Amino acid sequence: MWGMSKPPTGQSARCPEFNAEAMAIIPQNSFLIKSEENADGKAWVNCRECGERFLAFFQFKE
């Protein structure tokens, strides 16, 4: 069973528009992936450089 029983964590993600580093807040027992197809979830990320929002996809660790 997966969920948010632990506090979330921040992981570095790249803005697709500006290629700047941004912080994705995702569940602690997960990691970022590139493909939405294999994702268990997604999180909105704000780029501090260009101001755009983008989706980061994550997958839970087994």
Residue 1 is predicted with a pLDDT of 44
Residue 60 is predicted with a pLDDT of 96
Whether residue 55 is contained in a domain is answered as yes
> Which of 52-55's residues contact partners 24+ apart within 8 Å by CB, and which partners?
52/15, 52/17, 52/18, 54/13, 54/15, 54/16, 54/17, 54/22
The domain in which residue 33 lies consists of 8-60
Our count of domains for the chain comes to 1
Whether residue 1 is contained in a domain is answered as no
Whether residue 3 is contained in a domain is answered as no
Whether residue 33 is contained in a domain is answered as yes
Along the 62 residues of the chain, how does pLDDT read in single tens digits?
455 567 999 999 999 999 999 999 999 999 999 999 999 999 999 999 999 999 999 999 98
Whether residue 2 is contained in a domain is answered as no
Whether residue 29 is contained in a domain is answered as yes
pTM exceeding 0.95: no
